[in-house]
Structure 1
Amino acid sequence: MSNCRYNTYWLPLLAKHSMSEIAEGPLVVPLDCEWIWHCHRLNPLRYKADCQEFYGRILDNKNVVSTIQGESTRQTEEIWKRLYPEEPFELDLSSISSDGDSVNIMTEGSKYDFVAAVRRQSPFFYQVSKLFMNDNLFLEEAAARYKGFLHMIKRNKERSIRRFCVPTYDIDLMWHTHQLHPVSYCKNLVVTLGKVLEHDDMDSDRAKGQKLDVGFSGTTMQWEDTFGTRYWRAGGMYRGVAPSPITDIPLLASIKSKALVSSTVSQSILQLSKTTVVEVLLEIVGVRNLPDGHNGSLSVFFSKKKPDAFFDERKRLSILSESKEKQVASFQCEPTGELFFELVCQMPSTLRISRPDKVMGTTSIALQNILDPVSKLSIEKWLELVPSSGPLDSKPICLRIAVSVTPPAPAPHVLHMVRSRPSLKSACFLPLPGSIQLGKSWTSLIDEAGNEIINIQTRNSKKAVGNNGKPKKEIIGIIGWSDEARILAEFSETGWSLKGSEWSSQLWKKSIEGGHIFELRGDRVVQLFPGRKLEYEPKNCQRQKNEQDFITAIEFSNEFPYGKAVALLNLKCGVLKVEEEWFALSAITLAIILSDILRKEGNSVSIANIENLKMVDSNEDAYDIEGKSGKATNLENKELAAKISVAVAEKGEAGDKIKNVASGGTMVKGGGCGGGCGGSCGNMVRSGGCGGCGGSGCGNMAKSSGCGSGCGGSGCGNMVKSGGCGGCGGGGCSGSCGNMVKSGGCGGGGCSGSCGNMVKSGGCGGGGCSGSCGNSAVSTN
């Protein structure tokens, strides 16, 4: 349908406009026609031939703007309506037949296969959609590299060398942009090459030995021989297969302008850390001035002098001049500190026992030097090594190191939900001072640095009463350690309504159409989909995870008409990844509502299980903000929650080895689940794991000994740098173990009752607890 509108309506209108501008301002192209026009121009020879055949000249894009640029379309719509009174300016999707057999209204026009062209070009947007692709410095370098690419093609033509030159994606972005200005492109290329350069996008097979692979290898060699620099560029390489698109999207007419005055609400309420990240590509090109008599194979280990949240490893690279094997390391890190390099001589295996590996010297590069505009986001040079021992040589060993980085981009906010546990009647300590006593329904949101962001509780309102006579349900939040409570959401007969954000006047709208389970409408539309979608879609190596544990929030706007993933909720692990700060408070509130409901229902996240969630209410006791119900827990729970940083699931996906157990959580360098967990185990980082939990499983563990030989009851709580449940099961924990932070944990005698929360404590001793152990803080109990 769109290609018919493009041929029959848009191109004739564009031809009239190019002859004598029929609008005082710029002409606005309908979005569906713009996409077909875009793909048509990316076959420059065909576009030129079609324009000359039907209009006698190349139709240019002069004084034409996109609908997504926010320009007023009123004048263009009036011209369109005058010329085509029977055809709406915006494509009416409801008029397209469901079987796809729409009537072909085209009388004449290009016979180019636009459908095939669109299919070829759609994945390209994914490859160039990172935020840094709009950075001026990155684009300036891409434009310079595009000129170098054309120079190589010119030299090949002059020398009669037949080579299929394959651009990196930063170069390809510039090439596409050039082609979208068809008159300039044709003139420029005729001057440069003597002909219009064809853009061959027919090949997509990246397998070894195929046309793309051979062409890219040849282009790389020619570039590096011609210019003496690396052809690869951080941010310009293949990102993998594009994720599956969202097939059913809201109509643009129902979406208001993206401009939001209220988008700063989350930023003013929540104190989220500002972290940036860069992508890095690294290659060790050569080594020189090696000492005489040198024996053994050489390699380079690289790390960061001060590890950060994204990169805290020590990795090895071969040296191109030594191994003749090209190795390029790719990783992410914070744009601060130094990259540290160690030249290592590895002795042959027969001599390794008597002569261990030797560090011959070290050097470093400050990331700030690469990010300096003078360096243009890349460095390739010889660096002198500081010898590890011995006298300084007159000719120090040097490494030729090539590093490229992307401009810094905001890192996603990763938050962890930590639910407080109820206090026990036999608690050993009195409540700590404080005006707020947390009930069992409180949940703390903590970032990866261990900072408490917000505490949230589901409660019954004292004042508001619904038509059925029952108290109205509310979600309230307390920011950090503040005493001020905010109402974040309310539940009524029509469902949940989010308050205090851009969705303040909008109700949840439950839908099964298009696969989304809820829809939020404000100045943007955000739909929630089960599973990982768009940018979060799992790669092949991640597909073993249960997709029903995830919910993806996708924004639709004029800027992103086909959707952009803005948050990923992992309700099983209690991990939220939020891409944009304006959606953080809404994402947290949605996660609390859904996890609370699903926890009580015991269901997975799926359309079938969520269909009736709108009318589900909680049976859990509600607590008032002052804790006057008499059932509030000690403040230790809140203090504990603020200290637990469960940096596991997302960190594990970033590079650590992940071991998945049938009902276990994410484990990073963890001992795993032992004899069997009747429930489920939480996230574990460098921990001993669960010995055998027969009940509800173990909580999150970080640098802990984990759960010993078995917890028969409700499992173990969160443990951080703790001994864990040492011997629960000799006597067994028939109840449960609470949260432990820097504690000795539960001893070998077993707990027939339950263990409370322990902070910097000796824990439960070897004699066992016949009843229950209470909360301990800085104690040796």
Structure 2
Amino acid sequence: MRINMQIELKHESEWAEAQKIEIGVDLVAAAKQQLKFLAAVDRKRFLYEGPALQRAIYRYNAFWLPLLAKHSESQLVEGPLVVPLDCEWIWHCHRLNPIRYKSDCEDLYGRILDNSNVVSSTQGTCSRQTEEIWTKLYPGEHYDLNLAAALEEDISERMLGLKKCTSYDLVSAVFLPGNAMIIRHLQINIFTWSTYICTRSVLVSKPHMSHDLFVKEALARYKGFLHLIRRNREKSIRRFCVPTYDVDLMWHSHQLHPVSYCEDLIRVHGQVLEHDDMDSDRSKGQKLDVGFSGTTNQWEETFGRRYWKAGAMYRGDSPSPVTLVPFSSKSKKSKDLFSSDEYQNIVQVPDVKFVEVLLEIVGVRGLPESHKGRLSVEFSKSQPDLFFNAKQTLSILSESGEKMVASFNCEPKGELLFELVSPSTSPIKRTPRVLGFASLSLQDYLVPVSKLSDEKWLELVPSSGYASSESMCLRVGFSFTVPNPALFVLHMVRFRPFTKNSCLFPLTGWTQHAKSWTRVMTDAGTEVITLQMRNSKKEKDNFTPRKEVIGITASGETCTMAEFVENGWSLLDSRWSLRFQKPSCENSHLCMLIGDRVVNIFPGRKLDYEPKHHEMQKKERDFVTAVEFSADSPYGEAVALINLKSGVVKVREEPLLLTMVVLAFVLSNIMENEGFEGLPTTEDNVEADNLIKKESRFPVVGKENTTALPVESQVELNGNAVKVNKEVPANSPSTASGCGSGCGSGCGSGCGSGNMVKSGGFGGGHGSGRGNMVKSSGCGGGCGSGCGGGCGGGCSGGCGSMVKSTSCGGCGGGCGNMVKSSGCGGCGSGCGGGAMVAGSRQHT
């Protein structure tokens, strides 16, 4: 115990020493400004390559640096100098090689050209005075980049004629992995994607990146990083130290203030610290991999805290852009556009937030003397959670010698529960023995947000028969992101007319839905609106039938949601116009929503919905992505994802909920009845994929989702546990209890293939083919034929699944799923690929 306390005191002493490092600039403010600037640059992607980049480099050397040199000698304007955006982009990339920037400035101008009394054009400061002095000094050159002139003129000869010009390859500097990393990772999700070419960024930064607490903790970790390098120099240790992305954000922000950076680094290290961004190879055994492993070990040995950080880890390749041509409109999008609209309140779904969590069991102490065998820890949530609803097992680093980090998403409430378990020694009873319990309250850290990472000893409450001479404790390291809004997720549930041969009678109140109604439901099973496609009752020109979508709101009011007019659709009383086009190429959009906002519908999953880990592309035909174009997002922002096969609609913002639900309904109807180029018809979707569990909520943390990845280079924030240098079983079954015989062929004694997950009190029955039964309680005996699971006192034919049902029996024919029904004798989705599914919220 005393040894442990001494080690912990040493760790705290090292951390305190690191925090004494003085930084001559406000890096918290500088980091936030850098994020804002990079967002502006990403809206001008012509600055990434080609003639515009060449012109920007010329303007930087010929005009900006000389102007900055004059301004540093004697202030040219009363206020701060405002740097043009294109020049600031090149200046940004030049400064990220601090040693080269220092030598270039000294060679060309005799001193380092600093950014004191200079502001970015993105800071909202009036640039009139700067433009006036610019025009006076350079009458033939516009203050802002003239893109048309840049595209027409070959600037190479003018570059050769410059007397003062850096020989540093600024074109390559723009494409350095480090610069690209900052651009893409800050823009998409605090370094959420890969570290390669910066031209692939498509989204603005996530809220947690610029949150005060996240940035302040990043600053503390940056000082810790500088301290490690100082210790290495003191001990003459040669180590390539690799930062996590939050640390690298602060490092880049520091370099953007070149005088302060040089002075601070000389004071700490005796020399200016080089920033090596040339390497992007993360494969095993390469420089980045070895360097990151060494930095991780040194950090944890020096400070006694985890080096990984939620929201700051590598997460794979960046998504592909949907277009290389920016949207030209100058109109700003308004997320509150329809806040006062009569349609706004028709669909209401509760707001849900999520956090990303990284978790590691570092050590254990105070074990009973009678303990034998290898220990592990099982963890779960204390209350139902939309994103985290399974028990997971982690090894203990001090016991196993291997690092295993759990990565998952959950709601920012409740408690994490931990059970210290030991393998059973009984040859008959193989259930692990529980030695003790502990808990960790999420509210203590996240309500309100007070701390995003910690490492502490949790005292275990011993199980009976496992008393110890001292308290048993678990050392747990954990990290969170700031809570973020989850996606709105709704599900379309198809209902077909009842027939005389139906095995159940329709309940009172359901007769109004007897003609192919589709109900739109939330996760709780709440109906938010019911939709039907029908022929319009209005006068028809030339007796040509006209289609319309009728909706019945939760209050019982009937209204027209969409009408077919001329060669397209009018949605929500002409607020949106849906126009179709013949796809000109593989990546072109299928149709366009035109209103006060512009939304194109692309086939497949695009941008931040793009499938990761090389998922099978054949499933892409089931999806379309709604991509909004605006002055804020000229290259498109993914605002919704629609699964036309399962009826799942995922929407980023509430004002678009009803619009996307109506759009999904119209597209599903066209696909089923007519089909159009670029989207499959119903006959194309013959695969009976079980999409219920995958689409109704975020993937649970379970062994079936576990991925073995080295934490030094990959941490998957998708509900997976990540084990280092050792494979994790990926085929373990889901939890099942109280399951009777038969039903769905995966439950009890059935035949064929299927799955039974978390079932209680399930009666006898039988089924053949493929089917799934998930979270059912109180189901009577039933039968299922063909490809499905018929539950309750009823029958089912065709392809179907029953999920989360309580005391229900059902019937259905064809392909369909029934999910989360309560106390009803329903119809198992009817025919033609319909689905009855609950709604949920997902994170981005």
Q: TM-score, normalised by structure 2?
A: 0.70
Instruction: Please tell me the residue identity of whatever aligns with 1:118.
Output: V
The offset of 1:507, in angstroms, is 5.6
SS at 1:542 equivalent: coil
Q: Give the distance between the partners of 2:484 and 2:319, measured in 1 at CA.
A: 21
Instruction: Please tell me the residue identity of whatever aligns with 1:49.
Output: S
The offset of 1:234, in angstroms, is 1.5
Q: Give the distance between the partners of 1:91 and 1:720, measured in 2 at CA.
A: 67
Q: Give the distance between the partners of 1:706 and 1:207, measured in 2 at CA.
A: 54
| 8 Å Cα contact 1:384/1:397 also seen in 2 | yes
Structure 2 unaligned blocks of 5 or more: 1-50, 186-190, 193-204, 682-690, 706-732, 737-742, 747-752, 760-764, 828-844
The offset of 1:303, in angstroms, is 1.0
Instruction: Please tell me the residue identity of whatever aligns with 2:768.
Output: G
Q: Give the distance between the partners of 1:529 and 1:668, measured in 2 at CA.
A: 35
| 8 Å Cα contact 1:551/1:605 also seen in 2 | no
Matches within 5 A, 1:171-570: 171-251=247-327, 253-262=328-337, 264=339, 268-347=345-424, 352-353=427-428, 357-371=432-446, 376-390=451-465, 392-424=467-499, 432-433=508-509, 437-438=512-513, 440-463=515-538, 470=544, 472-479=546-553, 481-499=554-572, 504=575, 508=579, 510=581, 512=584, 515-521=588-594, 524-540=597-613, 542-543=615-616, 545-570=618-643
SS at 1:339 equivalent: strand
The match for 1:725 is 795
Which is worse superposed, 577-586 or 14-23? Answer: 14-23
SS at 1:270 equivalent: coil
Q: Give the distance between the partners of 1:106 and 1:689, measured in 2 at CA.
A: 80
Instruction: Please tell me the residue identity of whatever aligns with 2:303.
Output: F
Number of corresponding residues: 685
SS at 1:508 equivalent: strand
The match for 2:103 is 49
SS at 1:546 equivalent: helix
Instruction: Please tell me the residue identity of whatever aligns with 2:289.
Output: D
The match for 1:773 is none
Q: Give the distance between the partners of 2:297 and 2:692, measured in 1 at CA.
A: 46
The offset of 1:326, in angstroms, is 1.4
SS at 2:284 equivalent: coil
Q: Deviations over 1:619-665 (max 9, x none)?
A: xxxxxxxxxxxxxxxxxxxxxxxxxx95542547455648xxxxxxx
The match for 2:647 is 574
Instruction: Please tell me the residue identity of whatever aligns with 1:585.
Output: L
| 8 Å Cα contact 1:283/1:401 also seen in 2 | yes
Instruction: Please tell me the residue identity of whatever aligns with 1:332.
Output: N
Q: Deviations over 1:425-463 (max 9, x none)?
A: 6778577359x9336353222222322222233344444
Q: Give the distance between the partners of 1:484 and 1:216, measured in 2 at CA.
A: 60
Instruction: Please tell me the residue identity of whatever aligns with 1:289.
Output: G
Pair 114,523 (structure 1): closer, same or farther in 2 beyond 3 Å: farther
| 8 Å Cα contact 1:497/1:507 also seen in 2 | yes
Instruction: Please tell me the residue identity of whatever aligns with 1:244.
Output: S
Pair 740,200 (structure 1): closer, same or farther in 2 beyond 3 Å: closer
Structure 1 unaligned blocks of 5 or more: 611-644, 659-666, 675-680, 765-781
The offset of 1:597, in angstroms, is 0.8
Pair 672,205 (structure 1): closer, same or farther in 2 beyond 3 Å: farther
The match for 2:30 is none
The offset of 1:710, in angstroms, is 3.8
SS at 1:340 equivalent: strand
Pair 579,505 (structure 1): closer, same or farther in 2 beyond 3 Å: closer
Matches within 5 A, 1:626-705: 648-651=694-697, 653-655=699-701, 657=704, 691-692=768-769, 703=776
Q: Give the distance between the partners of 2:499 and 2:285, measured in 1 at CA.
A: 67
| 8 Å Cα contact 2:64/2:87 also seen in 1 | no
The offset of 1:476, in angstroms, is 4.0
Q: Give the distance between the partners of 2:517 and 2:295, measured in 1 at CA.
A: 59
Q: Give the distance between the partners of 1:541 and 1:720, measured in 2 at CA.
A: 34
The offset of 1:14, in angstroms, is 5.6
Q: Deviations over 1:278-324 (max 9, x none)?
A: 11111111111112242111111111122311111111111111111
By relative contact order (CA 8 Å, sep 6+), the higher-ranking structure is 2
Asked if residue 2 in structure 1 is aligned to residue 52 in structure 2, the reply is yes
Pair 261,763 (structure 1): closer, same or farther in 2 beyond 3 Å: closer
The offset of 1:484, in angstroms, is 2.9
| 8 Å Cα contact 1:528/1:554 also seen in 2 | yes
Asked if residue 92 in structure 1 is aligned to residue 147 in structure 2, the reply is yes
| 8 Å Cα contact 2:497/2:515 also seen in 1 | yes
| 8 Å Cα contact 1:498/1:506 also seen in 2 | yes
The match for 1:137 is 213
Pair 464,58 (structure 1): closer, same or farther in 2 beyond 3 Å: farther
The offset of 1:6, in angstroms, is 1.8
The offset of 1:45, in angstroms, is 2.1
The match for 2:709 is none
Matching residue within 233, 236, 239 for 1:160: 236
User: What is the RMSD of the two structures over their aligned residues, measured on CA atoms?
Assistant: 4.6
SS at 1:297 equivalent: coil
The offset of 1:408, in angstroms, is 0.8
Q: Give the distance between the partners of 1:74 and 1:588, measured in 2 at CA.
A: 47
The offset of 1:368, in angstroms, is 1.2
Q: Deviations over 1:715-740 (max 9, x none)?
A: 88xx89646636x5xxxx89x99x99
| 8 Å Cα contact 1:4/1:104 also seen in 2 | no
| 8 Å Cα contact 1:309/1:334 also seen in 2 | yes
Instruction: Please tell me the residue identity of whatever aligns with 2:639.
Output: V
The offset of 1:195, in angstroms, is 2.3
Q: Give the distance between the partners of 1:706 and 1:49, measured in 2 at CA.
A: 82
Q: Give the distance between the partners of 1:306 and 1:483, measured in 2 at CA.
A: 34
Q: Give the distance between the partners of 1:296 and 1:433, measured in 2 at CA.
A: 60
Which is worse superposed, 397-406 or 116-125? Answer: 116-125
Pair 374,538 (structure 1): closer, same or farther in 2 beyond 3 Å: closer
Q: Give the distance between the partners of 1:559 and 1:454, measured in 2 at CA.
A: 32
Asked if residue 743 in structure 1 is aligned to residue 811 in structure 2, the reply is no
| 8 Å Cα contact 2:460/2:471 also seen in 1 | yes
| 8 Å Cα contact 2:744/2:784 also seen in 1 | no
The offset of 1:40, in angstroms, is 2.7
Instruction: Please tell me the residue identity of whatever aligns with 1:574.
Output: G
Instruction: Please tell me the residue identity of whatever aligns with 2:643.
Output: N
SS at 2:464 equivalent: coil
The offset of 1:13, in angstroms, is 3.4
Pair 341,759 (structure 1): closer, same or farther in 2 beyond 3 Å: closer
| 8 Å Cα contact 2:55/2:150 also seen in 1 | no
The match for 2:20 is none
SS at 2:357 equivalent: strand
The offset of 1:596, in angstroms, is 1.4
Identity of aligned residues (%): 51
Pair 215,493 (structure 1): closer, same or farther in 2 beyond 3 Å: same
Pair 412,155 (structure 1): closer, same or farther in 2 beyond 3 Å: same
